[in-house]
Structure 1
Amino acid sequence: MLGKIFHKAPASSNVPPGQSVTERFPVMTYGPTPRVSEATFELRIFGLAEETTLSWEALLALPQTRITRDFHCVTHWSKLGVSWTGVLTTELIRHLAVHPEATHVMLHCYGGYTTNLALEDFLADGCLIAHKLEGQPIPVDHGGPVRAVIPHLYAWKSAKWLSGIEFMRGDRPGFWERNGYHRRGDPFREERYS
């Protein structure tokens, strides 16, 4: 059965070490799945930034981008060529008043989940605040209505059900980082655990 779901990546591929490729998109979640409607969605910006809250309409009013990137889970699977639509983090930050001393962000989610990122990782190529997966609204099990997509790091950094972005001076661990996961999570370095 496993051979029908996952398969080894070709030796010439750009799949990180220790990963198997899947055509499916497994759902990995810790805890109950939050149910957030577009009407009640809010993205709070706070910390070392001028505090503001973006509604669903305000998020969609920002310039939108579609990216296609590979998606790597710390549990050893990769899905190649996943298409996401949303606001690039580099575009989002252009519309925010962020204090120059900010070095990190903490992503906060409906349901209480958090994950930390260095500001340079949050603003890396292809990172976005996504609301579409393969051209359709993101299903709730995959983090809809809005999730982060941080494609160069393991998927736990691509926080589902995003509700807030906290800009911080210095780093502090989020949920999985407090529970033994690596602070950064680079899949090509196999930064799975601390």
Structure 2
Amino acid sequence: MERIPPGQIVTERFPILTYGEEPEVAPGEWRFSLSGLVEVPLTLTYQDLLALPQVEVVRDFHCVTRWSRLDVAWKGVRVRDLLEKARPKPEAVAALVHSYGGYTTNLLLEDLLREDVLLAHTLFGKPLPPERGGPVRLLVPHLYAWKSAKWVRGITLLDHLELGFWERMGYHWRGDPWREERFQEGPIPAASLRFRSKKT
């Protein structure tokens, strides 16, 4: 199987791309909430996050601007583990991710449930720096990097697809690099997600 998605160029650099101003969030001030269509809403501090079971993953990182950085080492908490604690309701099929600074992005619940999707606080063995989204960012390595929201502060589960910042600007609603889902072409399956629910 090819390692590099179509249209991507491997770089040894690790470019930093940020729209707007960089939020200033100290670890002691960071809060994360898991809310919406869940049985048990969760709120975490940075220390709460560090006290949970930790995992380390090494994954390639693909940006929609066509660069790929290979073998990026992350450490954090599986979002799947948090979802197990929160217990999504049967009608939950999608999520809206919220960041400090007002950024949002949307994801399918099935994408959040993958084992390598993390709330990441460590990069290459060091605390995640602010310019990389620290103290905590979302990591969704199987999708384009704009889905891995920096400075993450919450995830809201929904029964429908609600587009985030770049998706409203014309980026693809899902962002699979292997399908080159860079920009949206055709209808967005907002209504059909309700039908999919737990039938897939």
TM-score of the superposed pair, with normalisation by structure 1: 0.91
The alignment yields a C-alpha RMSD, in angstroms, of: 1.1
Corresponding position: 1:109 with 2:99: yes
Say whether 1:44 aligns with 2:29.
Answer: no
Task: Give CA-to-partner distance per residue, 1:9-36, whole Å, 9 cap, x none.
Answer: xxx8410011111111100110100010
Q: 3-state DSSP class of the match of 2:29?
A: coil
Supply the distance in 1 between the matched residues of 2:145 and 2:108 (Cα, whole angstroms). 15
Gaps of 5+ in 2: 185-200
One-letter amino acid of the structure 2 residue matched with residue 184 of structure 1:
R
Which amino acid counterpart does residue 73 of structure 2 have in structure 1? S
Q: Distance in 1 between matches of 2:79 and 2:34?
A: 13
- 1:120 is the counterpart of 2:120: no
CA shift digits 1:58-113 (9 cap, x unpaired): 11111100000000000000000001000012212122132221101111000000
Counterpart amino acid of 2:24? R
Report deviation, 1:192: 0.0
The one-letter code matched in structure 1 to 2:156 is E
**Pick aligned residue for 1:137 from 127, 130, 134:** 127
% identical equivalent positions: 53
- Residue 14 of structure 1 pairs with residue 11 of structure 2: no
1:182 matched to 2:172? The reply is yes
Question: Cα deviation per residue 1:119-150 (whole Å; 9 max; x = unaligned)?
Answer: 00111231111000011111111100000000
**Cα separation, 2, equivalents of 1:151 and 1:114:** 17
The amino acid of 2:75's aligned partner reads: T
Total equivalences in the alignment: 183
Q: 1:34 — aligned with what?
A: 23
Runs of 4+ aligned residues of structure 1 deviating over 4 Å after TM superposition are none
5+ residue gaps, structure 1, are 1-11
